[in-house]
Structure 1
Amino acid sequence: MTIILTNDDGIDAPGIQALLQAVKGKTIMVAPQGQLSGCGHQVTAHSPIHVDRRSSVEYAVGGTLADCVRIALHHVCAKPDLVLSGINAGGNLGVNVYIPGTVAAVREAAMHGIPGIAISHRIKRPLEIDWDVATLKNQRALITGGSRGIGAAIKSSVLPVKALMLPLIIPIRPIAQFSTDVALSFRAHLRESAHHFQNCWA
């Protein structure tokens, strides 16, 4: 499985580094050069976009999250299996999903027919995020969930097209329960999406 990683906190942020550690397999990081929280689905249309190719699997982009996904799909890897955006430092809930670049990245991916998951970590002040724990939680949910994991859910999807996005919030709860809840939530999302597409095309 080839996975594109991005994050609106920037390519050097601890969240995307934690996500990189959580994901197994081929990963390609295409993320903004700096902090772009709250940029939404903005795209760069009237100026050049500078891309710093740090390695064959790491690209720092002088643009927005939507720019990053477009560059990834058109110039780096045309057909990835999945786009993961995060881990965002702070929850993206309710109508706020229209504001963060974190969610815009997977929305852009879905527009191109690529499934995506936007991952955000809830912050309970004055506590600080433990990125090692965040890595472990994501690893359990994304990789080691076995037949109940998100990867397995994607492979067994009955969607007529691969065009979906799932905003995901990392809560403060036991890791094993987190993994199960996320997988069940994802499967429910797949069923709802399949029903929606079938109704649209009926």
Structure 2
Amino acid sequence: MFALPLDLASARILISNDDGIQAAGIRTLERIARTLSDDVWVVAPEAEQSAASHSLTIHRPLRLRQVGDKRYTVDGTPTDCVLLAINHILRDHKPTLVLSGVNHGSNIGEDVTYSGTIAAAMEATLLGVPAIALSQHIEPGGPPDWETAERLGPEVIRKAVSVAWPKNVLMNVNFPAVAPDAVTGIHIVRHGKRKIGDELFERLDPRGRPYIWIGALRGEAEVAEDTDIHVVLNGGISVTPLFLDLTHTPTLQTLKQAFV
């Protein structure tokens, strides 16, 4: 188990994201973190890395650059950022909590398998540090509003770290696209199913060469009431514990019988 519950007032908090060091969401998350602790560090990609998933840069060197007090950028992925932060920048005094986000857009359903925001939290978890990924749902065509995340984020984080989690679990939090006073509550739910990639745009570039752009349309979504998709689309904050052991135990047992 992680060393939870945490005393946030004395915690060292590391922040990262996948939208980059200049993103509005990471500035929101910094403000959230500073309501919890005075020891806040930021190590984030220098450019957007959305949908980078849990990719690690191994075929070229990484450039680490300090851009302010306790603020660094890395010309790599969210995974790179958390790895360098924990094992290099903060190796002598490691963080006690990692926060990733606040992502520009929700990470619900199958989004979690693509998300660089989730990946930053995954890397922290694998390195032995409890982590929470936070994302802000945005209605199609609408502007992001960070007020709900900023006002209610501290409460969600405090409650999440007030209980013990296994070492291979991270927390995935999504805020709805409604005003803080309209939030229907904080709901502990499983993640549902929705798949990106059903809409593909085939076009020609200015030189006449074909290209394909993956659109934002998602397939049929599972909207059962106990899923993150249902909660977020109906004005609630979803909290989902994600488990990093991908082994499907029932199939493991069945497969053993086939190889006897």
Q: Shorter-chain TM-score: what band?
A: 0.7 to 0.9
Q: State the secondary structure of the residue aligned to 1:60.
A: strand
Q: Does 1:150 align with 2:150?
A: no
Matched, 1:170 2:175: yes
Partners of 2:140 and 2:63 lie apart in 1 by 36
CA RMSD of aligned residues (A): 2.6
Task: Name the SS of the counterpart of 1:96 in structure 2.
Answer: helix
Candidates 91, 108, 117, aligned match of 1:93: 108
Q: Aligned partners of 1:166, 1:86: CA distance in 2, in Å?
A: 12
Alignment CA distance shift 1:117-1:18 (3 Å)? same
- Answer yes or no: is the 8 Å Cα contact 2:78–2:116 preserved in 1: yes
Please identify the structure whose Cα radius of gyration is greater: 2
What residue in structure 2 maps to residue 37 of structure 1?
50
Runs of 4+ in 1 over 6 A off after TM superposition: none
Aligned to 2:61: 48
1:70 shift after superposition:
0.4
Match of 2:27 among 10, 17, 23: 17
| Pair 1:129 & 2:141 matched | no
Structure 1: runs of 5+ lacking an equivalent: 144-148, 194-198
Bigger share in helix: 1
Deviation at 1:141, TM superposition (A): 2.1
TM-score normalised by the chain length of structure 2: 0.62
Q: Displacement, 1:3? A: 1.0
1:76 matched residue in structure 2: 89
Please say if residues 140 and 176 of structure 1, whose CA atoms lie closer than 8 Å, have aligned partners that are also in contact: no
| Paired residue total | 181
10-19 vs 110-119, which moves further: 110-119
Contact kept, 8 Å, 1:86 with 1:120, in 2: the verdict is yes
Superposed CA deviations along residues 122-162 of structure 1, whole A, max 9, x for unmatched, are 1112331122333112133224xxxxx22323xxx1x4x53
- Give deviations 1:16-62, integer Å, cap 9, x for gaps: 00010011211110000011111111111021100111234100111
Q: TM-score, normalised by structure 1?
A: 0.79
- Ranked by relative contact order (alpha carbons within 8 Å, sequence separation 6 or more), the top structure is 1
* Gap regions ≥5 residues in structure 2: 1-10, 191-238, 244-248, 250-260
Given that residues 137 and 179 in structure 1 are in contact (C-alpha distance below 8 angstroms), is that contact kept between their aligned partners in structure 2? no
